[in-house]
Structure 1
Amino acid sequence: MTEYVVRFIAGGVIVSAFAILGDMLRPKSFAGLLGAAPSVALATLAIAIVQHGAAYAAAESWTMIYGAIALACYSIVVCHLLMRLRLTALPATILAFAAWLVVAFGLFASFGGAA
């Protein structure tokens, strides 16, 4: 139960800090961008360091990096499928998800959880 309280508090503080930072920047669309993934990732890594140590958190951070690279590839594939091939949203996202899986697990298989 204590872990959930710590996650809630750490996540709330970090999300709030990123939201304030995003609110100060222009354009305002940065507020949504900064309020989500970076803050949750930092909260998760902070908890991982406390519970499991720095080596575990380092391995976890590499898997986050692989996921981010795979997400960028997914986004590019979706854009191409929607704009160039004129697919509808459902087939485009299913095909792009397959690309995400290949990239994410390919990176993980190639490099593992740590550098």
Structure 2
Amino acid sequence: MTADLRLRRYRPTDFAPCLAIFDSNTPKYFAAHERADFAQFLQTTTEPYFVVTRDADRQGESKATEQIIGCGGYFLRDGGTVAGFSWGMVAHEYHGIGAGRFLMMARLQRICQETTAQS
């Protein structure tokens, strides 16, 4: 199932789908009051942030459309030598298919390729 997953940079048009993913994980994984913090993060972040997509076939359409099923990023501290994950989540209905693992591994790969952070 993870073969059809892709990672791309977050765009402002991804705001509503990312909030929907957050909502699908509330209250089990996030508290409702954290939503405003996440929304502000999405609107102001300068840190690398990504979305996980898959093709979603829609009835009556000749081609597949992109569906956002997860999001997450990373941050750098201590002059770029320390990296960490930020706001990683997968839509509740896609838990258990490997999308979270895909997001984690993709972010680790980006950190290794794009930064000087050490393990």
Q: TM-score, normalised by structure 1?
A: 0.29
Larger gyration radius, structure 1 or structure 2: 1
Whichever structure has more strand as a proportion of its residues is 2
Bigger relative contact order, structure 1 or 2, given CA contacts below 8 A and separation 6+? 2
